[in-house]
Amino acid sequence: MTESASAPGRERRPPYVGRLVTESAFPLTLRVDGVGHELLVGADDTLLDVLHDRLRLHSCRETCGIGVCGSCTVRVDGRAVSACLTMAFTCADADVETAEGTAVERVRQAFLDHQAFQCSYCTPGFVMSVAAMLDEPTERRDVDAALSGHLCRCASYRQIRAAVEELLDT
């Protein structure tokens, strides 16, 4: 699927919050969960803006907006990143994965099996960091590091840990 669109509207927050003063728009081509997209993005648009507001992938969620909570975590060319801190124009020709893609089905299922959430707002971010950790060679997998950049306000940490332990064992 290919999308063409004008420069993005500012839907989630007013334009004066954390924004450069610019009306420039740049073409951006990227793949998200295996689907190709062509968009125009502003110089100050983040990957979170593109995924959540433009492509309506609402598993990519803003909470802190400053790289602290992990709720916006996605993978860019395999690496888990905070989408709120990743400028969209740096993702040209990138492969982006979100928690809505089929690639993380196994991780999502483990979270479901262990009821590793309450409100689930944080869950997609956790899922993406755990998926990135599992793709590491066994000797380099670091569960503490993978989970350390994520906050769960419902305190489902014990169940999240159990889900991750099961994934490591299978």
CA distance 46 to 55: 13
Asked whether 101 and 77 are in contact (CB, 8 A), the reply is no
For residue 159, state whether it binds ligand FES (rule: CB under 6 A): no
Q: How far is residue 20's CA from residue 43's CA, in Å, rounded to a whole number?
A: 8
Q: Does 87 bind ligand FES (CB under 6 A)?
A: no
Q: How far is the CB of 129 from ligand FES (least distance, A)?
A: 11
From 42, 65, 101, 124, residue interacting with ligand FES (rule: CB under 6 A) = 65
Strand ranges (DSSP E) for the chain?
25-32, 35-42, 73-76, 79-82, 95-97
Based on CB atoms, which residue is closest to ligand FES, 151 or 168? 151
CA distance 161 to 144: 9
Applying CB under 6 A, which part among 17-25, 28-36, 59-67, 100-108 lies near ligand FES?
59-67
Give contact residues for ligand FES (rule: CB under 6 A). Answer: 62-65, 67-72, 82, 84, 117-122, 152-154, 156
